[in-house]
Structure 1
């Protein structure tokens, strides 16, 4: 991974650190009791995923060229040459995020709490006129629904952070390959500047 230099390295490390924070927030939803992770942290990590991913997507053509059905074999070849530790890291991230989404999907409700108690609301289409209906929850049900909601809310961005780091790595590899082509080595092994055309 020597191709990760300068801003590529900073972007890659940033994406992986933010992905790790998202996974820790997600893992905290499996702990018993109340949900203790601050809402500002969850919202901040969720909001940061958009600039990190968009910049990774448009950072260089190298990463973008690997995406899409036309380049499926090229993408698979690139994944095969990744270091084993990085392949394992991406596999663990994908599995944990998928587990978080799967376990949170059934129980996730927009749980709320106020002076009247714990509840969630939904749009009741079975009555005419349609209206919001309230479902009261116990404290335990409230925290279970809140944790499931936060689990999905953190698992999705974790996948986007992982994809961002992968795109940055692919872009850095493409940039390194382009530098190698423009600075061929002479017979002594030293890099020579490209000849003027």
Structure 2
């Protein structure tokens, strides 16, 4: 973890913090009653996921980490690198994956694009069995509306949480690759036959 310096440390910390906020938003959907987290926060975290992930992806390829870990037939390198992570970080990633997977699994079955207006609670779907095909409306009770809304928001939090966690992993791998390359540069310039290598 000592290789995390400067912008790498900021990027890594930002990705994990945003991942934690996403998991808190997702966990709040299991609370009884109405959804408590503001929708703008869920939407903002969803939008912020793209630049955080894209920059992490670019860093992984410019540092060489992407080719080393995510290339074809590199599963063994990927596993070795994961096993070299500090125990606390391995537990953190395992917790994130399990919690996000639970959120996706519990939200997928009941998530609908629910709406509420003066006429009540409902969601619409395209009825392809009708002739002609048309949009059909399904009425919901208030408890069903809030349950469907929370399921929908649970998925919109669990998915980005996984991307934030993977972004932090890519940043850490990129920092490791960059640090290893910097250590190997003086050896190459002095004529040492040692090859740049990291795992």
- For the aligned pair, the TM-score class normalised by the smaller chain equals over 0.9
Residues 1:70 and 2:99 aligned together: no
How far, CA to CA, are the matches of 1:69 and 1:59 in structure 2? 19
How far, CA to CA, are the matches of 2:72 and 2:94 in structure 1? 21
Change (3 A) 1:69 1:194: closer
Compute the TM-score of the two structures, normalised by the length of structure 2.
0.91
1:124 aligned residue:
127
Residues 1:30 and 2:33 aligned together: no
How far, CA to CA, are the matches of 1:76 and 1:104 in structure 2? 30
How far, CA to CA, are the matches of 2:144 and 2:127 in structure 1? 21
Equivalent of residue 135 in structure 1, options 134, 138, 146: 138
Residues 1:110 and 2:136 aligned together: no
Deviation at 1:60, TM superposition (A): 3.5
The DSSP-based 3-state class of the residue aligned with 1:112 is strand
Deviating 4+ runs (over 6 angstroms)? none
Compute the TM-score of the two structures, normalised by the length of structure 1.
0.92
Deviation at 1:139, TM superposition (A): 0.3
2:175 aligned residue:
172
Q: When the two structures are aligned, how many residues end up with a matched partner?
A: 188
How far, CA to CA, are the matches of 2:136 and 2:166 in structure 1? 39
Q: Is the 8 A contact 1:11 1:168 kept in 2?
A: yes
The DSSP-based 3-state class of the residue aligned with 1:30 is coil
- Aligned ranges for residues 81-96 of structure 1 at < 5 Å? 81-96=84-99
The DSSP-based 3-state class of the residue aligned with 1:121 is strand
2:7 aligned residue:
7
Alignment gaps of 5+ in structure 1: 185-192
Alignment gaps of 5+ in structure 2: 192-199
The DSSP-based 3-state class of the residue aligned with 2:112 is coil
Deviation at 1:59, TM superposition (A): 1.1
Q: Is the 8 A contact 1:4 1:169 kept in 2?
A: yes
